[in-house]
C-alpha cells in the first residue's frame, strides 16, 4: 500500500493584511506537519487575501506576496512537506492567479489559473489573465531575493503536474472544479492521483451541496484524491467565505471541515491509500481505454518520496457523512461570523440596531445574539484569539472575560425602539422582550417631538401642514409624512452610535446595523436614507420567506421565544396612523406578496427574464390561477416600481451576500438606475400577447372552470395571490 497523509485548511484571511495572512499560512503549515502530512494546500490567493480587487493592479501587492513567500521559504516551513501557496504572479508583464508549489525551501513549479471566475460576485478578468498554453511548461525567472534563498534561477511555470517517485500530483484552482472541460480529466488520464484545489468560494444559501457534489463527482468519474481548501470569514467586503475544506477519495468524502467558524485557522488531514485509486481506475474499462490514447500533459520530475509504506496501525481514513446546515442555520451562523469579523477588524466597540419589533430588525437582533453565543462557546472551548478579541471589544478589565452571552451582549449591543404616535404597543413590547432575551442595552425613544418640530418648521416656511391619507391628505402628503419619520430614525441612530459609548464611559464607536431584506430592496419598498441606511446589513440579501422560517427556528434553537410572536405578526411599517378601519400592511402597500416578490426576483436575475419573458413564464406557472391579463397586470406593476426605485440600490447599505437574486448594485447586480418606468415597448408586447391569447381561446377554455372556482374562493376569503393596491401608500416610491 502507498499511504499518503494529506492536509487542507480553512483560513480566515483579510485582504491586504499581509501580517495576518502570513501568520495564518505559517500556522496551517505547522499544524499540517504536526499531523504528519506530506502535502498541504491552502486557499486561493491566500497570501494577499482573495478580495483585494483593484489592489491587485498595484505592483506592491505582488511584491509583498513574494516577500511573504520568501519568509516562508527562508524559515524552513516547507521542509519535509509539499505546500501549495496561493498568490498573484506577474510573468512577462501579465498578471496571473497562481499556486506556487514549494518543498524543502525550493519552488517546484508555479501553476497559473486556466479558467477565471467572472460572473456573479467575481471579476477575475479585471485583474488577471487566464493561462492558455497547455502544451508546455516554460521557465519563470525568479525575483533576485527569492533566487538567493532557493538557489534557483528559474522554475517551471504553466499547466502540468508534478511527478514524484511514488505519486503524481496536480492542481485545480476554484472555478476549474466547476468547468465543463475541467483540467483534472486530462490529468487523471495521464495518471495524476492527487488533485489540490485552492479556492476562494463564498457562502450562498443552499449552495454547499453543489460544491460537495462537484468534488464527489470529480473523483467518482476519474478516481483520485481531491483536496479542497477555502477561505473562511469576511476578508473585507460583502462576501463571507464559508470554508468547508474537504478531502474526497474515489467518490467519497473522507474528511470535511466546518462551514461557519470564528477560528482563524482550521486544518484537516486524512490518510489516503493511493493503490486504491489505481485499483479503482483499472476496474473501469472506459477509463482504461481513454487513458491508453490520452493527450500528454507536461510534467515536472521531482526525485523525492511523499508516501509511507504500510505499517501496523496505519488505517486509511474512511468515508464520512457530509454535514449540511439547513437554511435557517445558515442564516444564523453565516451572518453571525461575518459580523464578528467585521466588528473585530473595524476596531468598533459594538453594534447599534433600530429595533422596531418587526420581522426584519428582530432577525438582525437574533443574529447578533447568535454571534454572542458563538463567541462565548468558542471561549469555553479554549480559543485564545476569540477570547482576546472579545476582551478588547467588550473592554473587560483585570483578567475578566465573557462567560455569558447576555452579559457580552450588554457590553457590545445597543437596541433602540424609536416609536411615534403611529407605533403600536404590540411592536413596542415585542422589541423590549426580545432585547431582554438577548441581553442588549435597550432604549425606548419617542420621536414625536422631533417629527412635530420639523412639521412646524415646514408650516412656517410654506404655510401648509401635510396630512395623512386616512385624514384626507394626498398621496404626496402621505408619503412625505412617512419619510420624515423614517429619516429621523436614521439620523438618531447614527447620533446614538457615536455618542452612547461616550455616555457610558467607553472608548470607540458603534456600528449601525441595517435591516432591510432582499425583497424590499428589489421592489424599492424602503425610504432612501432611512434605517435601511446603515454601516452594514446582515440580512440585506435574505428573502422575507427565509427570514420568517429563521425566526421560527431561532425562537426554539436560540431560545428567543418572543420571535415566534414576531413571526406570526403581519408585516407593517407603522408609518401611518392606526384607525379602527385601517391598519397599514406591507403587502397591501406594495401591491404584491413577499412570495410573489421572491418569484419575480428569481426570474429577473437567475433566469434572466425581462418583462416579456417573465410574463410568458408566469402565464405557465400560474395557469389556472390567474388569467393572462391578470398576470400582465402583476408583471407590469412589479417592473414599474422596480424601475422607479432602482436608484435606491446605488446607496444600499453594504449587505452580507446570501441570495442569488440579490439586487445589490455595487458588485452583484450591474444594471442602470435610471429607467423609462413605463417600459413602453415591452409592455406593448405583453399587451399584444394577451390579446393573441384571448383571441386564440385555448387559454380561456383550459382555465375557465379553474379560474371561476378559484375566484369564488378568493371572493369568499377576501384574499388571493395579492391585490394590486392602486394608489396605496408606498413608503419611498421614488423618494
d(CA 39, CA 43): 14
Instruction: Assess whether 377 and 272 both reside in one domain.
Output: no
Which pLDDT score is estimated for 717? Answer: 35
Beta-carbon contacts of 335 under 8 Å, excluding residues fewer than 6 positions away, are 240, 367, 538, 539, 656, 658
Residue 719 lies in a domain: no
Instruction: Assess whether 410 and 475 both reside in one domain.
Output: yes
Instruction: Assess whether 301 and 336 both reside in one domain.
Output: no
Catalytic annotation on 356? yes
**Which residue from 112, 485, 550, 146 is spatially nearest to 330, judged by alpha carbons?**
550
d(CA 19, CA 195): 29
Other beta carbons within 10 angstroms of residue 326's beta carbon come to 12
* Geometric angle at alpha carbon 340, from 337 and 341, rounded to 5°: 90
Q: What is the sign, positive or negative, of the torsion defined by CA atoms of 657, 19, 230, 376?
A: negative
Which pLDDT score is estimated for 715? Answer: 36
Q: What is the dihedral of CA 187, 193, 194, 199, to 10 degrees?
A: 30
Residue 256 lies in a domain: yes
Catalytic annotation on 515? no
d(CA 168, CA 190): 9
3-state secondary structure of 156: strand
Give 474-500 pLDDT, tens digit per residue. 999 999 999 999 999 999 999 999 999
Q: What is the DSSP letter of 652?
A: P
Catalytic annotation on 337? no
Q: Give 672: exposed, middle or buried? Use CB within 10 Å, 0-12, 13-18, 19+.
A: exposed
Catalytic annotation on 58? no
* Geometric angle at alpha carbon 376, from 443 and 22, rounded to 5°: 115
CATH code for the domain of 682: 3.40.50.620
Other beta carbons within 10 angstroms of residue 685's beta carbon come to 15
Instruction: Assess whether 486 and 629 both reside in one domain.
Output: no
Listed residues 560, 588, 616: the one ending a domain: 588
Q: What is the 3-state secondary structure (H, E, C) of 503-549?
A: HCCCCCCEEEECCCCHHHHHHCCCCCCCCCCCCEECCCCCCHHHHHH
User: Could you tell me if 230 and 246 are in contact, meaning their C-beta atoms sit under 8 angstroms apart?
Assistant: no
User: Could you tell me if 140 and 157 are in contact, meaning their C-beta atoms sit under 8 angstroms apart?
Assistant: yes
Other beta carbons within 10 angstroms of residue 607's beta carbon come to 11
Residue 724 lies in a domain: no
* Geometric angle at alpha carbon 436, from 435 and 442, rounded to 5°: 50
Question: Which among 115, 168, 356, 423 is annotated as catalytic?
Answer: 356
Residue 669 lies in a domain: yes
d(CA 461, CA 463): 6
HSE of 448, CA atoms in CB hemisphere, 13 A: 9
Listed residues 588, 619, 643: the one ending a domain: 588
Residue 134 lies in a domain: yes
Q: Give 321: exposed, middle or buried? Use CB within 10 Å, 0-12, 13-18, 19+.
A: exposed
d(CA 190, CA 521): 50
Question: Which among 9, 28, 33, 44 is annotated as catalytic?
Answer: 44
Q: What is the DSSP letter of 190?
A: T
Instruction: Assess whether 683 and 646 both reside in one domain.
Output: yes
d(CA 451, CA 447): 6
Bridge partners (DSSP) of residue 8 are 268
Instruction: Assess whether 583 and 621 both reside in one domain.
Output: no
Looking at 423-474, list the stretches that DSSP marks H as alpha helix, in order from N- to C-terminal side: 425-438, 448-462
Instruction: Assess whether 368 and 261 both reside in one domain.
Output: no
d(CA 302, CA 108): 8
Crossing angle between the packed helical segments 594-605 and 544-557, to the nearest 10 degrees: 120
CATH code for the domain of 153: 3.60.110.10
Listed residues 555, 588, 621: the one ending a domain: 588
**Which residue from 109, 246, 253 is spatially nearest to 169, judged by alpha carbons?**
109
3-state secondary structure of 436: helix
Instruction: Assess whether 218 and 348 both reside in one domain.
Output: no
Bridge partners (DSSP) of residue 101 are 84, 109
Beta-carbon contacts of 92 under 8 Å, excluding residues fewer than 6 positions away, are none
User: Could you tell me if 251 and 273 are in contact, meaning their C-beta atoms sit under 8 angstroms apart?
Assistant: no
Structural domain span for residue 268: 3-312+319-324
d(CA 565, CA 563): 5
User: Could you tell me if 90 and 65 are in contact, meaning their C-beta atoms sit under 8 angstroms apart?
Assistant: no
User: Could you tell me if 12 and 264 are in contact, meaning their C-beta atoms sit under 8 angstroms apart?
Assistant: yes
Which pLDDT score is estimated for 702? Answer: 52
Beta-carbon contacts of 189 under 8 Å, excluding residues fewer than 6 positions away, are 222, 287, 290, 291, 294, 295
Instruction: Assess whether 295 and 383 both reside in one domain.
Output: no
Instruction: Assess whether 285 and 347 both reside in one domain.
Output: no
Residue 718 lies in a domain: no
Q: Checking DSSP bridges between strand 265-273 and strand 308-309, what pairing results, if any?
A: unpaired
Q: Checking DSSP bridges between strand 168-173 and strand 161-163, what pairing results, if any?
A: antiparallel
**Which residue from 41, 42, 43, 49 is spatially nearest to 19, judged by alpha carbons?**
49
Q: In 3-state terms, the chain is what percent helix, strand and coil (to 5)?
A: 45, 15, 40
Instruction: Assess whether 385 and 303 both reside in one domain.
Output: no
Residue 356 lies in a domain: yes
Question: Which among 113, 605, 636, 648 is annotated as catalytic?
Answer: 113
Which pLDDT score is estimated for 699? Answer: 61
Number of separate domains in the chain: 3
Question: Which among 9, 83, 98, 174 is annotated as catalytic?
Answer: 174
Residue 721 lies in a domain: no
Average pLDDT along the chain, 735 residues, taken 10 residues at a time: 95 96 98 98 98 95 97 97 98 97 98 95 95 94 97 97 97 94 94 97 94 94 96 95 97 97 98 96 92 92 92 88 97 98 96 95 97 98 96 94 97 96 93 98 96 95 94 92 93 95 94 91 85 91 93 97 94 78 79 88 91 94 90 93 88 88 75 87 92 75 48 37 34 42
Instruction: Assess whether 367 and 288 both reside in one domain.
Output: no
Amino acid at each position: 500500500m502507498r499511504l499518503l497523509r494529506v492536509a487542507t485548511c480553512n483560513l480566515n484571511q483579510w485582504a491586504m493584511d499581509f501580517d495576518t495572512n502570513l501568520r495564518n499560512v505559517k500556522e496551517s503549515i505547522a499544524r499540517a506537519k504536526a499531523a504528519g502530512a506530506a502535502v498541504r494546500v491552502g486557499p486561493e490567493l491566500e497570501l494577499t487575501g482573495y478580495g483585494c480587487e483593484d489592489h491587485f493592479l498595484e505592483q506592491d501587492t505582488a511584491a509583498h506576496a513574494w516577500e511573504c513567500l520568501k519568509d516562508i521559504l527562508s524559515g524552513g516551513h516547507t521542509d519535509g512537506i509539499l505546500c501549495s501557496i496561493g498568490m498573484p504572479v506577474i510573468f512577462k508583464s501579465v498578471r496571473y492567479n497562481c499556486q506556487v508549489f514549494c518543498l524543502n525551501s525550493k519552488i517546484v513549479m508555479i501553476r497559473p489559473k486556466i479558467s477565471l471566475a467572472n460572473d456573479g460576485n467575481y471579476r477575475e478578468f479585471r485583474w488577471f489573465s487566464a493561462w492558455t498554453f497547455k502544451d508546455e511548461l516554460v521557465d519563470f525567472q525568479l525575483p533576485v531575493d527569492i533566487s538567493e534563498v532557493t538557489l534557483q534561477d528559474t522554475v517551471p511555470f504553466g499547466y502540468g503536474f508534478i511527478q514524484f517517485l511514488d505519486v503524481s500530483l496536480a492542481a485545480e484552482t476554484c472555478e476549474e472544479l466547476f468547468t465543463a472541460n475541467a483540467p483534472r480529466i486530462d490529468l487523471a488520464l495521464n495518471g495524476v492521483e492527487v488533485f489540490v484545489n485552492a479556492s476562494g468560494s463564498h457562502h450562498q444559501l443552499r449552495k454547499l451541496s453543489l460544491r460537495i457534489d462537484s468534488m464527489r463527482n470529480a473523483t467518482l468519474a476519474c478516481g483520485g484524491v481531491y483536496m479542497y481548501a477555502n477561505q473562511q470569514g469576511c476578508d473585507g467586503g460583502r462576501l463571507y467565505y464559508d470554508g468547508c475544506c474537504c478531502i474526497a477519495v474515489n467518490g467519497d468524502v473522507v474528511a470535511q471541515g466546518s462551514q461557519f467558524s470564528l477560528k482563524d485557522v482550521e486544518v484537516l488531514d486524512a490518510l489516503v491509500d493511493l493503490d486504491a485509486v489505481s485499483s479503482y481506475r483499472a476496474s473501469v474499462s472506459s477509463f482504461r481505454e481513454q487513458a491508453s490514447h490520452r493527450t500528454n500533459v507536461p510534467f515536472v520530475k521531482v526525485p523525492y518520496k511523499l508516501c509511507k509504506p504500510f505499517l501496523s496501525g496505519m488505517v486509511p481514513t474512511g468515508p464520512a457523512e457530509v454535514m449540511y446546515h439547513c437554511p435557517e442555520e445558515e442564516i444564523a451562523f453565516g451572518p453571525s461570523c461575518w459580523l464578528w469579523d467585521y466588528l473585530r477588524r473595524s476596531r468598533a466597540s459594538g453594534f447599534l440596531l433600530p429595533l422596531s419589533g418587526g420581522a426584519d430588525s428582530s432577525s438582525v437582533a437574533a443574529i447578533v445574539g447568535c454571534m454572542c453565543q458563538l463567541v462565548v462557546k468558542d471561549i469555553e472551548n479554549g480559543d485564545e484569539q476569540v477570547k482576546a478579541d472579545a476582551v478588547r471589544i467588550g473592554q473587560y478589565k483585570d483578567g475578566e472575560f465573557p462567560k455569558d452571552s447576555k452579559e457580552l451582549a450588554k457590553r457590545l449591543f445597543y437596541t433602540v425602539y424609536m416609536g411615534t404616535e403611529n407605533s403600536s404597543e404590540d411592536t413596542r413590547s415585542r422589541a423590549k422582550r426580545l432585547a431582554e432575551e438577548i441581553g442588549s442595552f435597550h432604549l425606548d425613544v419617542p420621536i414625536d417631538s422631533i417629527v412635530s418640530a420639523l412639521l412646524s418648521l415646514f408650516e412656517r416656511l410654506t404655510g401648509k401642514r401635510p396630512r395623512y391619507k386616512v385624514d384626507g391628505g394626498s398621496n404626496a402628503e402621505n408619503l412625505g409624512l412617512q419619510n420624515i419619520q423614517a429619516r429621523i430614525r436614521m439620523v438618531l441612530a447614527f447620533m446614538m452610535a457615536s455618542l452612547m459609548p461616550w455616555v457610558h464611559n467607553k472608548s470607540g464607536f458603534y456600528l449601525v446595523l441595517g435591516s432591510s431584506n432582499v425583497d424590499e430592496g428589489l421592489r424599492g419598498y424602503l425610504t432612501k436614507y432611512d434605517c435601511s441606511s446603515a454601516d452594514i446589513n446582515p440580512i440585506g440579501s435574505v428573502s422575507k420567506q427565509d427570514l420568517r422560517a429563521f425566526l421560527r427556528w431561532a425562537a426554539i434553537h436560540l431560545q428567543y421565544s418572543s420571535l415566534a410572536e414576531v413571526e406570526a405578526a403581519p408585516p407593517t411599517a407603522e408609518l401611518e396612523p392606526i384607525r379602527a378601519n385601517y391598519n397599514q400592511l406591507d403587502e397591501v402597500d406594495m401591491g404584491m406578496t413577499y412570495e410573489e416578490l421572491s418569484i419575480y426576483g428569481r426570474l429577473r436575475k437567475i433566469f434572466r427574464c425581462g418583462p416579456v419573458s417573465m410574463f410568458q413564464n408566469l402565464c405557465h406557472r400560474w395557469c389556472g390561477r390567474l388569467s393572462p391579463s391578470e398576470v400582465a397586470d402583476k408583471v407590469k406593476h412589479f417592473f414599474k416600481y422596480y424601475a422607479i426605485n432602482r436608484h435606491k440600490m446605488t446607496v444600499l447599505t453594504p449587505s452580507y451576500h446570501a441570495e442569488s437574486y440579490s439586487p445589490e448594485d455595487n458588485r452583484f447586480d450591474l444594471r442602470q438606475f435610471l429607467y423609462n418606468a413605463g417600459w413602453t415597448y415591452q409592455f406593448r408586447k405583453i399587451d399584444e400577447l394577451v390579446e393573441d391569447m384571448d383571441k386564440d381561446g385555448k387559454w380561456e377554455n383550459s382555465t375557465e372552470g379553474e379560474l371561476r372556482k378559484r375566484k369564488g374562493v378568493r371572493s369568499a376569503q377576501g384574499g388571493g395571490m395579492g391585490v394590486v393596491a392602486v394608489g396605496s401608500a408606498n413608503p419611498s416610491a421614488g423618494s
